[in-house]
Structure 1
């Protein structure tokens, strides 16, 4: 019975760690995207406008 309880705690801990790591990765990805867009808007406004227009068109098409 103790082994089952320990295994259950280990699985729960592993899932919690995986969830936290996923959140950390998503937060880092968001920061990277923000930095990229900011740099592109400042350094390459022409490219920024082209990429923005492209993404807008794709969003209107339904992502295809």
Structure 2
């Protein structure tokens, strides 16, 4: 994936994860809350990968 798609997918996973955590907390569903936390973390990692790709591309472009 390109850096932009990584950042978009990452943000989508972060939001979906937060929603799952909220629903899990509201309903007392520990599994859903845990899945939400994992999905949010996955999203943060994806966003970081996208930012890292941008940084590498920027460094290469400056050479």
TM-score, length basis structure 1: 0.53
Structure 1, unpaired ranges of 5+ = 40-64
Residue 45 of structure 2 corresponds to 21
Q: Rg: which structure is higher?
A: 1
Q: How many Å separate the matches in 1 of 2:46 and 2:62?
A: 24
Q: Which one scores higher on RCO, CA 8 angstroms, separation ≥ 6? A: 2
Q: CA deviation at 1:28?
A: 0.5
Residue 30 of structure 1 corresponds to 54
Residue 5 of structure 1 corresponds to 29
Query: Which 4+ residue blocks in structure 1 deviate beyond 6 angstroms?
Result: none
Q: Over the residues paired in the alignment, what is the CA RMSD in angstroms?
A: 1.2
State how many pairs are aligned.
36
